[in-house]
């Protein structure tokens, strides 16, 4: 019996060792980058800038001015990349890379197919899995034309020389993220005439669910989809995402379409010269970028959000400021 138990333990150890070895050696799902060359035309660049704003690429990849409302982009630092703060609770050192056309420190030497693969499939130039703080599971649904346009816009960014360290993810997350990338394949253009489906497309590319869904056991809590309550710590500042489900009391259920559109476009003029603000006005919501989105597109997003399950979840978006005010 003792010998049998020893054999069983040895088998279990071998199986465990084989499983770990498999996780170490496996590569993320990937296809070769498409042999495409994106033409840089005024129409492509204009659409690409629009997608860049909608997808909030500035949020991680650009230098920002946190002393002003909405942390506007510092023009000379758009796309230069940064090491994301440890206060976000990330499993290791996560770097938003330099996405300017700089040949040495940016993506100036990347092919267009490699850029497209990184954006939608979630693998870098060497086929390694990107950390999914980069919301490529959402960008996977970005249409071919929109991702081509985004690449065209990236080509027009001023090259910025900004050398950054490589992302280094802690074990075992470094192994687990290999299962996240998936080839996007061909993605057709959405039909703006189908308001609900178009709104779903825009909300997905805008990655609304990622910020507005709380986390549970290290991943999004699907039972609380879009119900807000996700806490973000950016160095010494904190903010909590709002409930954007159609709940009448705690979400946007009582909002009219016009109120929703007005709320998101309210900062259009302010975006030209955002005022200085204190920590009580800290936000990660890309108000300044979203204020540039066309009203009809915001109406489509509103229509889509109205179809989601209403969830009663009261959220205090700035709890620290509320406590400071004694309320």
Range of the domain at 84: 31-189
**Same domain for 135 and 273:** no
Collapsing DSSP to helix, strand or coil, 297 comes out as: helix
For residue 4, being part of any structural domain is answered with: no
List pLDDT tens digits, range 223-280: 999 999 999 998 888 999 999 999 999 999 999 999 999 999 999 999 999 999 998 8
**Same domain for 210 and 185:** no
CB 213 within 8 A of CB 224: yes
DSSP 141: T
For residue 10, being part of any structural domain is answered with: no
pTM over 0.75: yes
Q: How many domains does the chain have?
A: 2
Give residue 2's pLDDT. 55
**Same domain for 173 and 251:** no
| Domain finish residue from 155, 189, 223 | 189
For residue 3, being part of any structural domain is answered with: no
Give residue 63's pLDDT. 97
Give residue 23's pLDDT. 53
Residue 195's nearest CA partner among 54, 306, 310, 287 is: 306
**Same domain for 304 and 161:** no
Residue 134's nearest CA partner among 106, 104, 95, 162 is: 95
| Domain finish residue from 158, 189, 220 | 189
List pLDDT tens digits, range 23-39: 556 899 999 999 999 99
Give residue 16's pLDDT. 47
Give residue 14's pLDDT. 47
| Domain finish residue from 174, 189, 204 | 189
Regions of the chain with pLDDT less than 50: 7, 10-11, 14, 16-18, 323-324, 326-327
> Peptide bond before 319: cis, by omega within 30 degrees of 0?
no
**Same domain for 221 and 145:** no
């Amino acid at each position: 019996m003792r010998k049998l138990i020893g054999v069983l333990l040895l088998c279990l150890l071998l199986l465990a060792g084989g499983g770990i070895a498999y996780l170490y050696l496996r590569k993320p799902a990937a296809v070769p980058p498409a042999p495409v060359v994106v033409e840089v035309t005024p129409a492509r660049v204009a659409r690409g800038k629009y997608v860049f704003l909608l997808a909030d690429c500035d949020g991680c990849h650009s230098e920002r001015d946190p002393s002003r409302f909405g942390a506007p982009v510092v023009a000379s630092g758009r796309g230069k990349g940064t090491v994301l703060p440890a206060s976000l609770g990330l499993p290791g050192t996560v770097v938003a890379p330099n996405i300017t056309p700089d040949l040495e420190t940016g993506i100036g030497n990347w092919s267009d197919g490699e850029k497209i693969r990184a954006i939608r499939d979630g693998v870098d130039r060497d086929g390694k899995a990107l950390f999914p703080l980069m919301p490529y599971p959402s960008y996977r649904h970005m249409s071919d034309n929109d991702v081509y346009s985004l690449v065209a816009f990236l080509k027009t960014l001023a090259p910025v020389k900004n050398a950054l360290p490589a992302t280094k993810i802690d074990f075992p997350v470094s192994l687990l993220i290999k299962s996240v990338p998936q080839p996007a394949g061909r993605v057709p253009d959405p039909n703006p005439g189908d308001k609900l489906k178009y709104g779903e497309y825009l909300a997905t590319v805008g990655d609304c669910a990622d910020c507005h869904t709380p986390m549970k056991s290290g991943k999004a809590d699907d039972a609380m989809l879009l119900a807000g309550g996700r806490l973000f710590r950016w160095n010494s500042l904190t903010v909590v995402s709002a409930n954007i489900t159609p709940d009448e009391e705690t979400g946007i259920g009582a909002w009219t379409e016009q109120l929703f559109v007005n709320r998101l476009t309210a900062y259009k003029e302010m975006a030209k010269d955002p005022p200085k603000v204190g920590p009580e006005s800290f936000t990660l919501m890309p108000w300044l970028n979203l204020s540039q989105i066309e009203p009809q597109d915001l109406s489509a997003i509103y229509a889509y959000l109205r179809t989601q399950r209403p969830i009663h979840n009261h959220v205090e978006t700035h709890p620290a400021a509320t406590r400071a005010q004694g309320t």
